Amino acid sequence: MVIFEWTVGVLLGAVILAALARRLGAPYPAFLAFGGACLAFVPGVPNLRLDPELALALFLAPVLLDAGFDASLRDLRVSWQPVLGLAVGAVVVTTLAVALVARLIVPDMPIAAAIALGAIVAPPDAVAALAVLRHAPMPHRLATILRGESLLNDAASLLLYRLAVGAAMAGSFTIAETAPGFLLGVTASVVVGPLLGLAFVAVTRRVSDPATAIVLQFVAAFGLWLLAERVEMSGVLVVVTFAMMVARKAPGVTAPRARIVSYAVWDTAVFVINVLAFVLIGIQIDPILARLNGTDQSQAIGLAVAVFVTVTVARIAWILPTSGLRGFGLRGHGERVRLGAGVAVSWAGMRGIVTVAAALALPGEFPHRDLVVFTAFCTVLGSLVVQGLTLSPLLRFLALPDDDPVGREAGRARAAAYGAALKSLEDHQDCAATDALRAEFREALAEAEAHEEGLAPESLPADAARRSAILAARTAVLEMRRRGEIGDDAYFLLEEEFDWAELSATPRAES
């Protein structure tokens, strides 16, 4: 009962912190990390410990499935060079730099444990960066690079992490023995993931019930991860490639209602997972410090500060010197803008849930486990606070130009959609309602034809009036419910009808 009460309180506190973060235009993981650290020193907090073997599956599988589903394969192909440079090159450089620093500060730390620490703190977290981008503009190309990096760098860092942890626990490691199985597992992962995605879409195409569809999605996320780990493939690559294939094939077969509900559930699930991860690692900080004596505490704090500085400097050093060459620069703009693009990408390297989950997944007998977990959490907290709270002002200062490719593409696609909709009405019998609908589409298409790039308006001409009418209808039915003229069952039925009608009007009609 105590754990349940604390869970309810933690979720309430997380909602308040997230609301505060949105108001300040800051990434909510920064506030969650700070809240988790504060919980460690609150008397009476339950000392919860998660099974290390469960940590990665519980925290990463659904987060990666959600991120993979949202990834744009076309945009990744266009930006593959900078994405690959960050996802592999920056991860390897950061891992080695952190391992070197760790060995200098803690000479008795095994090299495998030092590399594991480097792999834990190497991958930035897109959730934190994208939370900032909701409040500060960043060119679409740079945002795409950050999203792509977050997908692939998890795979690179966790592969290094697995190898290092295995070597640390076994006490030995040879590339000749490990490389063949490693390469086979990676290759199999990128083949098996998409195939399972096709199978999933084929099996679930007839599922229209939202609850059933969402449960199957979570079963797929966790089941794929567990299956991949059982057969020594990469859980990250299997889940991500699976999600990207489902995202390509599902839109034509998924019921609209299931899709709308699914998006809301997954957004909530990712938020709750972040909350639980930061709380679980945060409450371990006080017991860890209690187990360290005075000298060890000083060493732990020194290592944490050094590692945070190292990951920050390593990313900047990897990006800035050749930012224009790697494709971070925005085409058609001057050197100042290209340098600014490199600065923005290098500073958007906040660590987050991947680092937290990897630290929690370390075996209990891992060498210097307390020191590694403490350092990882401090690195996450430091990057979220220092970089997370300053990224938004930095982006406003840089004022990087953006030609809004998404908006242009959406405008052209909208014009094509309106044209197809108008053509479909040719076979319908003439009536007042059909004529009104034709007139609405013709007016929108006329505006698109008058636009120099053929972009259609963001809303149909009658959308504002439609939304106003729906609001009036809602108010009238709500008053009838309050007066007792209709019961709750009738009200909820009408409310759902109004919701779907309002969703049929484009979201920006009132702007």
Which tens digits make up the pLDDT trace of 144-192? Answer: 888 888 878 888 888 888 888 888 887 665 555 555 666 777 788 889 9
Kindly report, residue by residue over 358-399, the tens digit of the pLDDT: 898 898 889 998 899 999 989 988 888 888 888 888 888 887
Q: What is the pLDDT of residues 263-286, one digit of tens each?
A: 889 889 988 888 888 888 777 777
- Mean pLDDT, the chain, whole residue set: 82
Nearest to 119 by CA among 358, 427, 332: 358
Secondary structure of 293-332 as H, E, C letters = CHHHHHHHHHHHHHHHHHHHHHHHHHHHHHCCCCCCCCCC
pLDDT of residue 175: 58
pLDDT of 510 reads 41
Q: What is the pTM of this model?
A: 0.80
Ramachandran region of residue 274, left (φ > 0), alpha (ψ -120 to 50) or beta?
alpha
Distances (CA, A) of 412 to 150, 225, 452, 455: 30, 39, 11, 5
Q: What is the pLDDT of residue 304?
A: 93
Q: Are 237 and 189 in contact (CB under 8 A)?
A: yes
- Band the pLDDT of 225: cuts 50, 70, 90: very high
Confidence category of residue 132, pLDDT binned at 50, 70, 90: low
* C-beta of residue 363 within 8 angstroms of C-beta of residue 52: yes
- Say yes or no: domain 2-398 is CATH 1.20.1530.20: yes
* Mean pLDDT lowest among 48-52, 207-211, 459-463, 466-470: 48-52
Q: Tell me if 67 sits within 8 A of 171, measured CB to CB.
A: no
The more confident residue out of 286 and 300 is 300
Distances in Å between the Cα of 382 and the Cα atoms of 58, 246, 349, 378, 388 are: 24, 36, 11, 6, 9
Each domain of the chain, given as residue ranges in start order, spans 2-398, 406-457, 464-511
The one-letter amino acid code at 215 reads V
